Amino acid sequence: MKILQYILLPLFCLLALNSCKKDLLNIKPSIITDANVWKDPSLIKAYITNLYSRSALSGLYAGLGEIPNLYGSDEGMCVYTFVPNPIGHGDLKNTGGVLEYWDYELIRDINVLIQKIPTTPLSDDLKNQYGGEARFLRAYAYFEMVKRYGGVPLVKEAQDVNAGDALYVPRNKEQECYDFIEEQCDSAAAMLPEAFAGSDLGRSSKYAALALKSRAMLYAGSIAKYGTVQLDGVVGIPAGDANAYWQASYDASKAIIDSKKFELYNKFPDDKAKNYQNIFLEKNNSEIIFAKKYISLIAGHDFDDFYETNSNYTFWGCAFDPYLELIDAYDNKDGSSGKIDWANTTGYMPDIVKNKDPRFHATILYNGMPWVQDTVTIWSGIYVNGNLLNDESQQYQGMDEVGRDQKTVQGSRTGFLMKKFLDPKRHFPKPGESDQDWIVYRYGETLLNFAEAAFELGKTTEALDAINEIRDRAGIAPLGSVTMDQIRHERRIELVFEMHRFYDLRRWRTAVAELNGDFHGALSYFQWDIKKFSFSVVSADGYTRVFRPQYYYLPITPDRINNNPKLVENPNY
What integer pLDDT is reported at residue 35 of this predicted model? 76
Decide if 421 is inside a domain.
Answer: yes
Decide if 432 is inside a domain.
Answer: yes
Tens digit of each residue's pLDDT (9 = 90 or more) over 406-431? 987 788 999 999 999 999 999 999 99
* 384 contacts 357 by C-beta, under 8 angstroms: no
What integer pLDDT is reported at residue 34 of this predicted model? 60
Tens digit of each residue's pLDDT (9 = 90 or more) over 526-542? 999 999 999 999 999 99
Tens digit of each residue's pLDDT (9 = 90 or more) over 397-410? 999 999 999 987 78
Distance separating alpha carbons of residues 84 and 171, to the nearest angstrom? 28
Question: pLDDT-derived band of residue 379, with 50, 70 and 90 as boundaries?
Answer: very high
Decide if 340 is inside a domain.
Answer: yes
What's the structural domain count of the chain?
A: 1
Q: What is the DSSP code string of 402-435?
A: S-GGG-SSSS-SSSEEE-TT--TT-SS--TT-B-
* 533 contacts 348 by C-beta, under 8 angstroms: yes
Distance separating alpha carbons of residues 305 and 40, to the nearest angstrom? 40
What integer pLDDT is reported at residue 31 of this predicted model? 47
Taking alpha carbons only, the member of 136, 26, 157, 148 closest to residue 92 is: 148
Distance of CA 16 to the CA centre of its chain: 32
Distance of CA 445 to the CA centre of its chain: 12
381 beta partners: 525
What integer pLDDT is reported at residue 541 of this predicted model? 94
**pLDDT of 105 over the 90 cut:** yes
Half-sphere exposure of residue 505, counting CA atoms within 13 Å on the CB side?
23
Distance separating alpha carbons of residues 217 and 503, to the nearest angstrom? 14
Taking alpha carbons only, the member of 280, 424, 416, 310 closest to residue 353 is: 416
Q: What is the largest CA-CA distance in the chain?
A: 83
Tens digit of each residue's pLDDT (9 = 90 or more) over 319-377? 999 999 999 999 999 999 999 999 999 999 999 999 999 999 999 999 999 999 899 99
Distance separating alpha carbons of residues 521 and 541, to the nearest angstrom? 9
Q: What is the pTM of this model?
A: 0.93
Domain with 358, as residue range(s), is: 303-439+518-539
**pLDDT of 166 over the 80 cut:** yes
Tens digit of each residue's pLDDT (9 = 90 or more) over 263-315? 999 999 999 999 999 999 999 999 999 999 999 999 999 999 999 998 887 78
What integer pLDDT is reported at residue 7 of this predicted model? 29
Name, in order, each residue with C-beta under 8 angstroms of 550's C-beta and a sequence gap of 6 or more. 570, 571, 572, 573
Q: Is the dihedral of CA 272, 276, 282, 288 positive or negative?
A: positive
**pLDDT of 15 over the 60 cut:** no
Distance separating alpha carbons of residues 59 and 62, to the nearest angstrom? 6
Phi, psi of 167 (to 5 degrees): -70, -25
Distance separating alpha carbons of residues 145 and 156, to the nearest angstrom? 15
Taking alpha carbons only, the member of 116, 108, 104 closest to residue 43 is: 116
Decide if 316 is inside a domain.
Answer: yes
Decide if 406 is inside a domain.
Answer: yes
Decide if 199 is inside a domain.
Answer: no
| pLDDT mean over 149-172 | 92
User: In whole numbers, what is the pLDDT of the chain averaged over residues?
Assistant: 93
* 57 contacts 137 by C-beta, under 8 angstroms: no
Residue 75 burial (CB count, 10 A): 24
Distance separating alpha carbons of residues 495 and 72, to the nearest angstrom? 15
Decide if 525 is inside a domain.
Answer: yes
What integer pLDDT is reported at residue 314 of this predicted model? 72
Tens digit of each residue's pLDDT (9 = 90 or more) over 175-230? 999 999 999 999 999 999 999 999 999 999 999 999 999 999 999 999 999 999 99
Question: In 3-state terms, what secondary structure has residue 17?
Answer: coil
